[in-house]
Structure 1
Amino acid sequence: MAYAGRQAAGVGKRALGRPGAGVNLDIQVRTAQHIFQVLGELKGCATKLGQLLSIYELVLPPKFAEPYRMALTQLQDSTPIMLPQTVETAMAAHMGSNWRWYFREFDTRRAAGASIGQVHRGVWHDGTEVAIKVMYPGARAAVHADLDQLRRMSVLGTVFVPGADVKAVTEAICDCISEELDYEAEAENQRVFADAYADDADFVVPRVLARHGDVIISEWLTGTPLSRIIASGAPEERNRLGLLLLRFVLSSWNRAGLLYCDVHPGNFRVLPDGRLGVVDFGACAPWPAPEFPGVVSGYFEALFNGGRTELEAAIRDHGFAEPGRTIDVDAVAEAFVPLCDPFLHNTFRLSTDWFRQQIRRAMDPRLSNANRDLTMPPYFTPFARAFLTVIGVVCQLDTEGPIRAEFVRWVPEIAAALESFDRRGGKPADLGIARTLRGTGPRPLSAVHTG
């Protein structure tokens, strides 16, 4: 309603002679400010939603995105800061009145923000430089209140996916966010990852030294924020880090038995030796889910080696269509075509333009959009979150490289389907991957995609 009001006001201004472009920009700026104000009222989840929206802001055409980018930056910068006395009180509440005994040094000034807390720098009693993550007082109550609000708003999701069980998926999302309030679980997740990636040539996960209530003490990582590489890194470095980021998420369930779900630039650092440092393990899910291998095998076999019968079976057997709902399998196949592209070349470029096209296609509210016939089973929610956000950041890095090889290395079901595809000379089966890839005919896997 607020947006409609601004549009009506814009019509009036155009009638009075203001240039249309200027009026439209004014509408976008005011809408972005309204989004900021609404999210700012969600005291518990504002930063988390801002992190997600900072990825999906890429969906907008560049000339329209700037007002929203500015508003989201304002949201990130508005994260509440605990004053030193509040920090002292919070530390005493969780570690006891003699909490300073544990530290040789402790800086009460915030070193970094977290979605529901903040990070301080210090020196542990054994001389180790540490990061101390402290939850904001009252954060749990605020998050739970925000999740209740999210549940009430979730009905809006049916505009884009009327065939989905939006309530069930919303509950799965709420469960994921609620789990991030459990610092005991987060500390254990981080210990598992630190053990799994100990002495790794590519990644560094800081060890957890202690956890007291809503305080986690872990090794301090000194490095360049990934956001800085996104903004100004050289192409070679961006390509390298994009592939490392993808490798970390894809390898996480093989090596740690957990899926790392909280993929945004603030959780990654480039260390001086070139390795990728990873922090914040609140959003991790046991993975793979029992259903996951069958889903991947079913979809990839259908798309690359099967036909419409196999694709419809994969959709229905794995819960991606409500029972009894009619689906246009050919239209769904057409919609999946661009998602197959990275697997058809030894080298592929994942760019913001490519990502923007995929999200806009999936979220198009027109009745003819095949995605509106589909749903997503709740168990798939953690993977959808991890996959979409990691691809979003990889696209922000404008990553070009062996994307296919990373998937093949870590997901055997994909490897098996693509091996069969390759043995046939890269020729799709009767589905034709939607009419042999838009009617262009099979392309050699050595080709380089640059679009």
Structure 2
Amino acid sequence: MADIPRRAAHRTAKLASLPLGVAGRLAAGWGKRLTGQNPAEISAEVSAKTAEQVFAVLGQLKGGAMKFGQALSVFEAAVPDEMAGPYREALTKLQSAAPPMPASSVHRVLAEQLGSAWRKRFAEFDDTPAAAASIGQVHRATWHDGREVAVKVQYPGADEALRSDLRQLIRFSRLFQSLAPGAEVKPLLAELQDRMVEELDYRIEADNQRAFAKAFRGDDAVLVPAVIASAPKVVVTEWVTGKPYAQIIADGEREERDAAGRLLAEFHYSAPARAGLLHADPHPGNFMLMPDGRLCVIDFGAVSRLPDGVPATFGRMVRLALEDKSDELLELLRAERFVQADREIQADDVLAYLAPFVDPVRTPMFHFTRRWLQRQAERVGDLRSPDFRTGRSLNLPPDYLLIHRVTLGATGILCQLDAEVGARDIIARWQPGFSD
């Protein structure tokens, strides 16, 4: 037990090294600029080294920090093309790669969770992990009745690692507050912490997956693998083989990309109405295209519980922005705490900020591209831009956090897919408030 404080200190030091390392590289980059070296080459060099460090540190941590890295990997579509390569390669690895734990550790966890006779539950068990995630790894096995199954085993100590990482990240709340002075940062971080800690109990994940499987049972577009058995740190589900979205992103044909995008958009917007839940872990590693054309969805550790579906506020916001009703839009944002009462902000500025985000519903079909997402990131991230100043005056209420983050994540995957999708009809069908 004496080794635990040392490991915790080591993890904290690794996590703290990220902002320090990035700051050092940026300072060196500015120094090179002052000596007349090519800015594009300098930016690419800084980007490559940062991506390398992000993967090296977050990949080793396996806990909350790695989960942030997984979420970040979705948004590489917003990084300018000349810098995206290193991030695309390094951060995408976080979706499926992490140092595996030894077979002896796996067996110990299985014995603790499924009983000392755990081997009798399986006809075969492959000690080599088939995939790895932030707090666990997946093994392929054959259940005692002959069914092929996926066995997710939580890393020993993952619970304390996750909590430690989250505590460390929450200590950065003042930094986040300075970047977004109009936002309620501490409640946002607390909400994120609560949702992520839930993922430590695989019984919750199993219940979530059962609810999704029930809602989509017999569906001709979505497949959710059945849960076979569950315990706090082990969950056994049906094994499914399909084409991962990461592979489609890498080399998919046009028809395949469009189909994958349409299925993902339909699932994202329909799940709250059908299951009362929102799958809240959108990255390509959690989606596969099946040989029969269905979307297979896995990993239900992170969900947003929406028994009444997605709040109509989101649909109304999109509709008002689409119809250029700036005064009504600002009134709605103030009423729902997206703009705090003491903030002075102009209705036309809010409309100018939000209007480009509703491009996907302006036409029957919309082509989600990296360049479109890059333009949005450049627009709101440019310190000289009026949109940047407007964005600093907006707030994200904690109860909307996961919905907002998941929608952005799903949009990032659509842009990675380079998919053309009829988003307007999908949103009109499933998003309350848009057509009301």
Q: Structure 2-normalised TM-score?
A: 0.89
- Residue in structure 1 matched with residue 417 of structure 2 by the alignment: 397
Residues 258/74 of structure 1: CA separation in 2 closer, same or farther (3 Å cut): closer
Choose 1 or 2 for highest CA Rg.
Answer: 1
1:374 to 394, 398, 412: 394
Give the Å deviation of 1:288: 5.4
1:205 to 218, 224, 227: 224
Alignment of 1:286-297 (within 5 A): 286-287=305-306, 292-293=311-312, 295-297=313-315
Alignment equivalent of 2:274, drawn from 255, 271, 276: 255
Match for residue 310 of structure 1? Answer: 328
Q: How does 1:169-188 map to 2 (within 5 A)?
A: 169-188=188-207
What's the counterpart of residue 409 of structure 1? 429
Q: 1:407 to 1:147 in 2, by over 3 A?
A: same
Q: Give the superposition deviation at 1:250.
A: 0.8
Q: Residues 372-414 of structure 1, C-alpha deviation per residue, up to 9 Å, x if partnerless?
A: 1110100001101210111110111111131101111112421
Checking the alignment, whether the CA contact within 8 Å between 1:249 and 1:259 is kept in structure 2 is yes
SS at match of 2:186: helix
Alignment of 1:129-144 (within 5 A): 129-144=148-163
Would you say the 8 A contact 1:131–1:220 is kept in 2? yes
Q: Percent identity?
A: 43
State the match for 1:447 in structure 2: none
* C-alpha separation in 2, matches of 1:332 and 1:36: 36
Residue 338 of structure 2 is aligned to residue 320 of structure 1? yes
Residues of 2 paired with 1:189 and 1:357: CA distance?
A: 36
Q: CA deviation at 1:273?
A: 1.2
Change (3 A) 1:236 1:310: same
1:207–1:109 distance in 2 versus 1, CA, 3 Å: same
State the SS of the aligned residue for 1:211.
strand
Distance 2:307 2:382 in 1: 30
Structure 1 gaps, min length 5: 417-451
Equivalent in 211, 234, 238 of residue 257 of structure 2? 238
> Scaled by the length of structure 1, what TM-score is found?
0.86
- Partners of 1:170 and 1:150 in 2: how far apart? 9
CA contact (8 A) 1:259 1:285 kept: yes
Deviation at 1:20, TM superposition (A): 5.4
Contact 2:60/2:98 (<8 A) preserved: no
State the match for 2:369 in structure 1. 351
Q: What letter matches 1:373 in structure 2?
A: S
SS in structure 2 at match of 1:244: helix
Change (3 A) 1:219 1:374: same
Alpha-carbon separation, structure 2, partners of 1:205 and 1:75: 23
> What is the match of residue 190 of structure 1?
209
Deviations, residues 207-251 of structure 1 (Å, cap 9, x unaligned): 101112311111100111111111111111100110100111111
SS of aligned partner of 1:415: coil
- Alignment-derived partner of residue 39 in structure 1: 58
SS at match of 2:241: coil
The alpha-carbon deviation at position 362 of structure 1 amounts to: 3.2
Residues 227 and 237 in structure 2, CA contact (< 8 A), matched pair in contact too? yes
1:114 shift after superposition: 1.9
- Looking at structure 2, the residues matched to 253 and 335 of structure 1 have their Cα atoms a distance apart, in angstroms, of 27
Name the SS for the 2:342 alignment partner: coil
CA distance in 2, matches of 1:237, 1:64: 27
The one-letter code matched in structure 2 to 1:332 is V
Report the alpha carbon displacement of residue 4 of structure 1 after superposing the two structures with TM.
Answer: 4.6
Alpha-carbon distance, 1:291 to partner: 8.3
Count of paired positions: 415
Deviation at 1:75, TM superposition (A): 4.9
- Report deviation, 1:305: 4.8
Q: Which runs of 5+ in 2 are unaligned?
A: 1-19
- Which residues in structure 2 correspond to 1:377-388 (within 5 Å)? 377-388=397-408
Matches within 5 A, 1:39-78: 39-40=58-59, 42-73=61-92, 75=94
Task: Answer with 156-165 or 141-150: which moved more.
Answer: 156-165
